Structure 1
Amino acid sequence: MIEIKVPELGESITEGTISQWLKEVGDHVEQGEYIAELETDKVNAEITAEHAGVIKEFKREPGDNVEVGEVIALIDENASAGGDDSGSSSDNSKSEEPKAKEEGVVKEEKKEEPAAKEESSSESENRPLASPSARKLAREKGIPIDSITPTDPTGRIRRQDVEAHQEKPKKREEPKQPKASASPEGEAGKPVEREKMSRRRQTIAKRLVEVQQTSAMLTTFNEVDMTAVMDLRKRRKDAFVDKHGVKLGFMSFFTKAVVGALKEFPLLNAEIQGDELLIKKYYDIGIAVSTDSGLVVPVLRDADRLGFAGIESGIGELGKKAKDNKLQLGDMQGGTFTITNGGVFGSLWSTPILNAPQVGILGMHKIQMRPVAIDNEHFENRPMMYLALSYDHRIVDGKEAVSFLVKVKELIEDPEQLLLEG
């Protein structure tokens, strides 16, 4: 009997939560085949079978917390799917033959069992292909995965297929009212719904509270005129796509501007370790990405060595991996400074929370046309964006923080400087 254990996932990960079993007891699995999805604080991982055989037992259930190295399933290398070992089956049939003659009905029922098991095994082998996030959403919504019609030409069910399927029954079931209306938790019989927080959401909540309790966080604001950047993008966007195969977005300009400002104000690229400051001489910029399972911050490595095309390609690749739940631990470790763009959701003004142990985070916001005074007599409507810099006041003084943000503003309003300064 082979034990399936929770594998080592990284130095900082010691436990996880079983999201779902991808196989069932009695299923045959090949070596390297996925059998379970594990949700951890940072990434989702799929556990594989290290040996071929038949799954004999699941020791833990979906939703259970498990530790690295813990046995969660057993696989029998010598068994065949849907039945017991041939030797023991033969012996049992011989010893039970006399009884079967006396109890013909019982014998007939026993003959049918293997067929039923084979049918069950066949069904599990034919279970539809689906991404882990799609299976998880379907399970949370109580939707049978095999009732969902995929739009992917390969037949793989994706999250959007589950969401589209959910809209159909929702309209039909509205008159019935959800079971939550009878929940005793509601005030005066009002409907409520209780939902367990995912492990990632619990971790996000814990870390954000810790940051506010352990740092002297302060936020300073400024605004930037986006006219020059938008004009430059308009002139160069087609040629840029033709040459590099990626779009010229705003994030490459802000990443370049942040790196330039960090070089001038290095304490914002540092962290506190005990009674020492660790001032980093490299620039690994975290880019906050919102996903269905929570906010993640993959890291763009050595951003100071990348051109505009390299930055856009790198951010695009990290964003896709985040949306597809394919980020690895290495993608999110070791950032020195973070950029978050609430403007894509329409945010006009916010105070971003630090991504510990970093001591600085830049918040971008919605671009909005506003009247701007050109001189004492003239106004113009300009595309303006509010910028917010949250910083740890323990090591960064107000003068340095404000100067950093002014430098970012200057570089964005005169983007040629970004090209000249590399």
Structure 2
Amino acid sequence: MAEIIVPELAESITEGTIARWLKQPGESIEKGEFIVELETDKVNVEVISEEAGVVQQHLAAEGDTVEVGQVIATVGASAGAPAATPAQAAAPTPVAAPEAVVADEGTADRTIASPAARKLAREKGIDLAAVSPVDPMGRVRVQDVEAHGTAPKAPAAAPAPTVAAAQADDGRITREKMTRRRQTIAKRLLEVKQSTAMLTTFNEIDMTNVMALRSRKKDQFFEQNDVRLGFMSFFTKAVVAALKKYPYVNAEISGDEILLKNFYDIGVAISTDGGLVVPNVLDADRKNFAEIEGTIVELAKKARDNKLTIADMTGGSFTITNGGVFGSLMSTPIMNGTQVGILGMHTIQRRPVAIGDNIEIRPMMYVALSYDHRVIDGKDSVGFLKMVKELIENPEDLLLGS
């Protein structure tokens, strides 16, 4: 009998959530074939079976939180009834094939319950020890939990329901449990807000020249590189150049030290159905425009297919986020993790601007730099953003510099 164990995920990740079982009890599985998909704080990880055989039982249900090193399933050498847990082995086996069950470690009498029953009990806030099972062997199943939840109870004094609770009862509110990734995003954004002295400075960029250059070069660029020329490569190149001139924007705080990073791994915020992820364009200073665009396309596809790896998500030194793809005119982006700066791009809008003594309609973009004032002073933050603006408005300088 082989055990499926939650593998080491990353140094900072100790647990995950079972997102989806890819193999069910009774199904055959080959060595190296995926059996379960785990959702972690950063990425989804598919776990393989180290042995060929038949899946005997799941020891955790979809939605359960599991820890690194925990046994979550077993694989046997041949088909047959699922292997019994120690608690089941002590009891006579009924004629009908039983639903896979496990002992609930949270109760003193080690209540025996199926993973689905345990999950439902948690969602309903029901103590499994209080559930009366129909099974003569004492095993709690989903039906028992549902019956317990609808059983008549003695009236008890309770506070008046809140407005939200009352609305939930009449169907006007739908409760949805946050995914592990959304919980992590919420937790980390709050931590950044509470643990940094975050400020935001703004500027605006005349996109006329870069749009004209892109229009002239995009067909030739695509023919030569098989990837489209977008704005992200220009902004990535501009950011790298500005980081080299203003190194404290490419730093982080560690205790009472400032760590100045001599590398340029630029995080690119990508929106997915599961939330925002920020994989990194590694060594962006060593990549040309085509390599940057190709890397971003590859990372975006991996993000939307839940194929990002831990390596894709770690080691970033600065982040670029583009709210403009959703139509945002202006925002104050929140810094990513331990980084001390993030650049926010926004939608391009044609509006009147003063060009010398004349008023012209130009394609303009507001840009924002959120930064940690504990590390970066106003002079560096304003200078950094101004340099990005100047480079984008004179894109030939970027091409010559690369």
TM-score range, shorter chain: 0.7 to 0.9
Q: What amino acid is the match of 2:295? A: G
Contact 2:56 2:82 in 1 (8 A): no
Q: 1:225 maps to which residue?
A: 206
Q: CA deviation at 1:187?
A: 6.2
The reply to whether residue 383 of structure 1 matches residue 383 of structure 2 is no
The reply to whether residue 274 of structure 1 matches residue 273 of structure 2 is no
User: TM-score when scaled to structure 1?
Assistant: 0.75
1:318-333 residue pairs with structure 2 within 5 A?
318-333=299-314
SS at match of 1:212: helix
Q: What amino acid is the match of 1:364? A: M
Q: What is the CA–CA distance in structure 2 between the aligned matches of 1:401 and 1:184, rounded to whole Å? A: 46
Q: CA deviation at 1:36?
A: 1.2
Q: What is the CA–CA distance in structure 1 between the aligned matches of 2:7 and 2:369, rounded to whole Å? A: 39
Uncovered stretches (5+) of structure 1, i.e. residues with no partner:
85-109, 115-182
Q: 1:415 maps to which residue?
A: 395
Distance 1:356 1:191, change over 3 A: same
Q: 1:363 maps to which residue?
A: 344
Distance 1:188 1:60, change over 3 A: closer
Q: 2:243 maps to which residue?
A: 262
SS at match of 2:367: strand
Note the alpha carbon deviations across 1:3-58, whole angstroms, 9 max, x for none. 11111112111100111212222222111122111111011111221111222221
Q: CA deviation at 1:381?
A: 0.5
Q: What is the CA–CA distance in structure 2 between the aligned matches of 1:187 and 1:196, rounded to whole Å? A: 14
Note the alpha carbon deviations across 1:364-420, whole angstroms, 9 max, x for none. 0000000111123x2110000000000000010011101110000000001111123
Task: Give the length in aligned residue pairs.
Answer: 326
Q: 2:73 maps to which residue?
A: 73
The reply to whether residue 400 of structure 1 matches residue 399 of structure 2 is no
The reply to whether residue 207 of structure 1 matches residue 188 of structure 2 is yes
Q: Which residue among 305, 312, 328 is the counterpart of 1:347?
A: 328
Report the RMSD for the aligned CA atoms in angstroms.
1.9
Q: Quick check: 2-11 or 242-251, which moved more?
A: 2-11
Note the alpha carbon deviations across 1:148-198, whole angstroms, 9 max, x for none. xxxxxxxxxxxxxxxxxxxxxxxxxxxxxxxxxxx9552683521111110
Q: 2:105 maps to which residue?
A: none
Uncovered stretches (5+) of structure 2, i.e. residues with no partner:
84-94, 98-163
Q: 1:101 maps to which residue?
A: none
Note the alpha carbon deviations across 1:251-304, whole angstroms, 9 max, x for none. 000001001111110000011111111101111100000000010000001111
Q: What is the CA–CA distance in structure 2 between the aligned matches of 1:184 and 1:234, rounded to whole Å? A: 55
Q: What amino acid is the match of 2:79? A: S
Q: What is the CA–CA distance in structure 1 between the aligned matches of 2:380 and 2:337, rounded to whole Å? A: 19
Q: Which residue among 217, 220, 224 is the counterpart of 1:239?
A: 220
Q: What is the CA–CA distance in structure 2 between the aligned matches of 1:190 and 1:12, rounded to whole Å? A: 40
Q: CA deviation at 1:323?
A: 1.0
Note the alpha carbon deviations across 1:68-126, whole angstroms, 9 max, x for none. 1101112222x225799xxxxxxxxxxxxxxxxxxxxxxxxx8xx89xxxxxxxxxxxx
SS at match of 2:375: coil
SS at match of 1:186: helix
Q: What is the CA–CA distance in structure 2 between the aligned matches of 1:8 and 1:83, rounded to whole Å? A: 27
Distance 1:83 1:203, change over 3 A: closer
Q: What is the CA–CA distance in structure 2 between the aligned matches of 1:358 and 1:40, rounded to whole Å? A: 21
Contact 1:27 1:82 in 2 (8 A): no
SS at match of 2:271: strand
Q: What amino acid is the match of 2:279? A: P
Q: Which residue among 294, 302, 305 is the counterpart of 2:283?
A: 302
SS at match of 1:50: coil
Note the alpha carbon deviations across 1:340-367, whole angstroms, 9 max, x for none. 0000000000000000210000000000
Contact 1:28 1:81 in 2 (8 A): no
SS at match of 2:54: strand
Q: 2:179 maps to which residue?
A: 198
Q: 2:109 maps to which residue?
A: none
Contact 1:246 1:309 in 2 (8 A): yes
Q: What is the CA–CA distance in structure 2 between the aligned matches of 1:386 and 1:372, rounded to whole Å? A: 13
Contact 1:367 1:385 in 2 (8 A): yes
Q: 1:314 maps to which residue?
A: 295
Distance 1:326 1:406, change over 3 A: same
Q: What is the CA–CA distance in structure 1 between the aligned matches of 2:7 and 2:379, rounded to whole Å? A: 48
1:92-107 residue pairs with structure 2 within 5 A?
none
Q: What is the CA–CA distance in structure 1 between the aligned matches of 2:51 and 2:223, rounded to whole Å? A: 48
Note the alpha carbon deviations across 1:304-330, whole angstroms, 9 max, x for none. 111111111111111111111110000
Q: What amino acid is the match of 2:375? A: I
Percent of residue pairs identical: 63
**Structure in which a larger fraction of residues adopt helix:** 1
1:87-126 residue pairs with structure 2 within 5 A?
none
Contact 1:31 1:51 in 2 (8 A): yes
Distance 1:379 1:8, change over 3 A: same
SS at match of 1:339: strand
Q: What is the CA–CA distance in structure 2 between the aligned matches of 1:262 and 1:303, rounded to whole Å? A: 12
User: TM-score when scaled to structure 2?
Assistant: 0.78
